[in-house]
Amino acid sequence: MATILEDYIAKHPGSAQRYLEASEIFPGGVTHDTRYAQPFPLYMTHGEGPRKWDVDGNEYVDYVSGHGALLLGHSHPAIAEAVSKQIQLGTHLGASTDDEIRWAKAIKALMPSIEKLRFHSSGTEATLMAMRLARAYTGKDKVIKLQDHFHGWHDYAMAGSDRSAPGIPEASWGTMVVVPPDDLSAVGDVIKRDPDIAAIILEPTGAHFGQLPLDVPNYLTGLRELTAQTGVILIFDEVVTGFRAAPGGVQERYGVRPDLTTMAKIVAGGLPGGAVGGKAEIIDMIAHRNDPDWDNNHRVYHPGTFNGNPLSAAAGATALEMIATQPINQQADVMADRLKKGINYVLGRLEIPGHAHGIASMIHVVLADCACDRELCTMSHAKIVEANGSPAVTAMKRGLQNRGVDIMSRETFLVSGTHTEKEIDHTLDAFQEAMAAVRADGLI
């Protein structure tokens, strides 16, 4: 019987060949760190709804979901039509457009905390601008960040990550204060002893959109009270959770309103795009006042060639208007719940230590037992990290890919509003077979 790795190599010769070519062009052979895989990553050709196909003709139920951007699935007809129509009118008009206003109104309709906003081209740009706005508004220099929380790859965001960061000056981290997650007293202590704290930024469901969960909503509520009392700007990074944890994001799901919100992925309807929104008085730090002193010496500078570009505006506005008026989130959440329960049943039936947890349409699998309620995992973050580092997790992903299921990273399922019971049940059959193969390979 072939091993998982042997099966993977046999099923994907086209991907193997392309990786050899790509390795001569791209560092590591890939264009995104999470796509790096050994012996080679998969190369896809197209997608439709909850499915996609690779260069060897293999079909997959897709849970990568465009790294979280495709709540509407692949190639949604409404998005395709909106983008196709706009591309005939112009990809970049070098001017303001009606669609950027429409896009902004669609965001504001879903997230009441957004009084004003500014568009960007990515989540990394959005979190960088949110930190800059908070510093400019408060006149203070330091930002609190929770350990392991991900806010893109800019210098400030890499502070407190789980990896080293060559190329980043140590001095840039002097303005970042890293605290343990889920520890309100640690945040309070920093604010109390350091008068130079401008803001705190966090993923509101926990690091890696809930892979390492926070005690929500208790932690978020406590953080909101603490920051309101001390004048520290509260920034929710909803790049992944925005419009997915609920139509209005985590802030709607748990009723906690931040001062600033960063958005990307779903906000642009699956195209490149991001935004920072929140209190008008903070966002207006970018505004021109026709006052030379303000405009030249105090205003936050913000150019960006593709800010609010017509294609992303058309896709984003269309997607968000659909999310506001159709049961897209409800469908994704119901299917995710079916998948989560099914994964837990399979693991129990096979007597394999492990469980699935997560909120809304974001599911994380941990190959270690826990008595949590399967929404918010109560296992220690250290144990989750240890479990996720095992060879069995890599084998689980490869085993799923061999059986027509592709997941985000190595242990995450991001469910779209186009997944149906058919896709979920196929996935559960594939998961059972994949885990049996992991056991046959002697990894569990």
From first to last of the 444 residues of the chain, give the pLDDT tens digit. Answer: 899 999 999 999 999 999 999 999 999 999 999 899 999 999 999 999 999 999 999 999 999 999 999 999 999 999 999 999 999 999 999 999 999 999 999 999 999 999 999 999 999 999 999 999 999 999 999 999 999 999 999 989 998 876 678 898 888 888 999 999 999 999 999 999 999 999 999 999 999 999 999 999 999 999 999 999 999 999 999 999 999 999 999 999 999 999 999 999 999 999 999 999 999 999 999 999 999 999 999 999 999 999 999 999 999 999 999 999 999 999 999 999 999 999 999 999 999 999 999 999 999 999 999 989 899 999 999 999 999 999 999 999 999 999 999 999 999 999 999 999 999 999 999 999 999 999 999 998
Verify that 91 and 26 share a domain, yes or no: no
Distances (CA, A) of 403 to 35, 78, 284: 19, 30, 51
Position 162 scores a pLDDT of 63
SS3 of 301, please? coil
Verify that 360 and 434 share a domain, yes or no: yes
Query: Range of 357's domain?
Result: 4-74+327-440
Q: What is the CATH number of the domain that holds 83?
A: 3.40.640.10
Verify that 90 and 220 share a domain, yes or no: yes
Q: What are phi and psi of 413, to 5 degrees?
A: -115, 120
pLDDT tens-place string over residues 307-350? 999 999 999 999 999 999 999 999 999 999 999 999 999 999 99
Q: What are phi and psi of 188, to 5 degrees?
A: -60, -40
Structure tokens at 435: 């885990």
- Which of 304, 325, 346 corresponds to the end of one domain? 325
Verify that 124 and 245 share a domain, yes or no: yes
> HSE-up of 143 (CA within 13 Å, CB side)?
30
- Which of 325, 340, 369 corresponds to the end of one domain? 325
* CA-closest candidate to residue 369, choices 349, 389, 383, 390: 383
Beta bridge partners of 49: 74
* CA-closest candidate to residue 137, choices 193, 225, 188, 199: 199
Verify that 107 and 220 share a domain, yes or no: yes
Verify that 183 and 64 share a domain, yes or no: no
SS3 of 23, please? coil
Verify that 334 and 357 share a domain, yes or no: yes
Cis peptide, bond prior to residue 41, ω within 30 of zero = no
Verify that 351 and 249 share a domain, yes or no: no
Verify that 27 and 101 share a domain, yes or no: no
- Cα angle 155, 159, 162; round to 5: 120
Position 163 scores a pLDDT of 66
Work out the number of other CB atoms within 10 angstroms of the CB of residue 195.
9
How many domains are contained in the chain? Answer: 2
Those residues whose C-beta lies under 8 Å from the C-beta of residue 154, and which sit 6 or more positions away, are 124, 127, 128
Asked if 411 and 364 count as a contact pair (C-beta separation under 8 A), the reply is: yes
Verify that 332 and 299 share a domain, yes or no: no
- Which of 309, 325, 341 corresponds to the end of one domain? 325
* CA-closest candidate to residue 72, choices 276, 403, 361, 431: 361
Structure tokens at 263: 């958005």
- What type of residue sits at position 257? R
Position 160 scores a pLDDT of 80
Q: Where are the alpha helices (DSSP H) in 365-420?
A: 381-388, 391-402
What's the CA gap between 202 and 14, in Å, rounded? 40
Beta bridge partners of 74: 49
DSSP codes, 105-118: HHHHHH-TT-SEEE
Radius of gyration of the chain, Cα coordinates, nearest whole angstrom: 22
Verify that 264 and 336 share a domain, yes or no: no
- Cα angle 365, 371, 375; round to 5: 55
Q: What is the CATH number of the domain that holds 15?
A: 3.90.1150.10
Position 170 scores a pLDDT of 83
Verify that 296 and 334 share a domain, yes or no: no
